[in-house]
Structure 1
Amino acid sequence: MSSDKALLPLGALMLAASMGAAAQGSAPETTMSTVTVKETAEIQGKDTLLLKKTTVGKGKQDIKDIPQSVTVFTEKLMADRNQDDFREVLRTTAGVTFLAGETGEEDVRLRGFSLGQAGDIYIDGMKDAPLIERDTFNHDRVEVLKGSASMLFGKGSTGGVVNQVNKAPLLIDQHEAAYTFGTGNSHRATGDFNFVTGENAAFRLNAMVQEADNYGAKQDKRGIAPTFAWGIGTRDEFSIGLYYLESKGRPTYNHPWRLSADGKINTTLPARNFYGLESDYTNTSSQYATLGHIHRFDDGGELNTRLRYGTYERDMLASTIGFQNSAITLGQINDSTVLTRYGSKGRMGESDVLQVQSDYSNTFNWGGKKHAVLTGVDYYDDDAKRNQNYANT
């Protein structure tokens, strides 16, 4: 009897299941859409602090396979740290230092070698223009490779390279907006909007507005970057993107100081204040269009081709600052101390840049070992006009 009672719940469950199946049998048949199964899950930079793959080596590779030190700053990491400026990202990287340039510029150096002057700052694997303001509002990640750049790029210095990766359209509807208020009366608003427009097509728009007083060194930035891609994840993937960033501000060129008797820098004037002239300014703009195509071969190889045309402008006027009385002592420095400008320096430049680049990457096993093939061609034309020495009259 106890055995029969134990079987009653099981019998009821089987009866309910058979009735449910009969009910489903009367429903019309439906066909599921195509399901794509991949070997590993794709993790977007927005949702993770760690990436296992990188594109800093002219092709998508596992970071562990690159025989050099690679540091990757994902979108989430930069957002958590509130790193809005490209230089703020590099400041948190070991081996990166900044030197003061002649007109308030920051000469970025990696392992002691200049990045900007050597042309070792890239965006999506293509050379970026030097001496311009950069912002992270459209960055998916920033990749820092330390070591000889010529090993993977065929050119550059021995310090390494920094590759900025722009955000790309995703096959998911997601929208995000953020507002930040900070010291120096800083206001910043950003928006990231992604729309799925087809089975394998999407449109993504990133925008940014920032204004700050910065204790006299005002800054005003505007940026927008729309991108449309189709054939995402298929054999042939195409994309077209536009980018515009304008920055207007004042250069923090100099701060008056004195050395004390023991050789230490000592002054009562706040270093955060702007001591230049009202006419001082630093204005830069970047605008370019990019056409991209990725062809995926059956053997796992990829041919990545990009065409980019951009216009970059830079106009800056900065004044040098010092004490009017050169014989002043540390004890005499106060809020009434008279400052003077010994002169001014101007820098102006315009560049029209055309780049065409095609890279092929693949891996294969031969002789019991895994091998990687990285090869490609690129064409770079920079029509530059520069004036490096004009004064404020």
Structure 2
Amino acid sequence: MTGDDAAPTLAQLMSKLSRSASTEARGEVADAIGRSIDSPELGPVERDIALDIVRKLAGDLEQQVRRNLADAVRQSVGLPHDVALKLAKDVAEVALPIISDSVVLTDGDLVTIVEEGDTDKQLAIANRDEVSDVVAGALVERGNEDVVVAVVSNPGAELNEPVLGKALDRFGDSPRLQTPMVGRATLPVAVAERLVSLVSDKLKDELVRRHEISPDMATDLVLEGRERATLALLSDDAGSQKVEDLVREMARNGRLTDSILLRAACTGDLAFVAAGLAVRAKIAFRNADLLVHDDGANGLKSLASKAGMSEHDRIILRAAVDVARTTEMVDAPDARDRFAETVLERVLTTFDADEVGFSEEDAEYLIKKLSKYTGKHKENAVAHLR
């Protein structure tokens, strides 16, 4: 390169080192030569000379010189492995640029650094653009809560089921860990289901939206969350935007199923039923709500048909909605439990399994749900459905 803005040549850098032994001069050379080692303009001989200088500067007595070098070579692909490792094992101020960015360091190098126990270095590794499952495992095993939270929060970290499980073993009670774990793009089913018992109601809703969990558990979470909402208890108008947002998200994820609509109806959550049918039928929420609450049979039948429900499921839905609409909800501490008990018992015992009845899966779910509130009718319901 030529001109006033041209980078110093290798000869100029060597001359500068020979003329001045000051820390400032060596730091400037470290910065310049570090940035030059990947240059295609260097020939083989020049590159060897440059790398020799880099090696010497990596062992300089002055920390600032080594820091300048580390900053300059942090993203170099041509940095010799021994130099990268030497800088990475230096004091944190020198090492962190290399540990954070160098692609020259191997997983084995990174695991060794993690095992040495320096928290600042562990955090730098946890925040790398890419963290392999092996390195992530070492971080989760050896790091403190800050380190584990950092790696779980990193979308570039590969976190397999055992590693996530270990993170929960160590810090599962911490909301600082729960929030980024729920927010990951994917979670193994076993981890998602384990999180259910640990996280807040808000994060449970997020789990259902984002991750794969068993159908029954997903249903429990959605309906229990809806049961907590005011609109599910006393008012079909309060919080309508919240339920509309929920069903839209479930539809996008393929989880707004016939089964969950039936089960919602059987727990009296007509706001959820109406919103779910509206999304599936592609009609206005208000119109769907009117059809669900219409005294005539044809409105709901037409809506459910347009929403793609089978004739079998439409009949059960009609019965569940009728029971829910005619069962009084009172304002009492156990009102929701008693209401759900009444609806479930009446729906389960209304149909003969040989005629219309629930699928075995739905029947088992609803019987289990009924027994959650009271065990006295469970045997009768089971006998009737056999």
TM-score range, shorter-chain basis?
under 0.3
What is the TM-score when the length of structure 1 is the normalising length?
0.22
What is the TM-score when the length of structure 2 is the normalising length?
0.22
Higher strand share: 1
Relative contact order, CA 8 A, sep 6+: which one is greater?
1
Higher helix share: 2
Larger Rg belongs to: 2
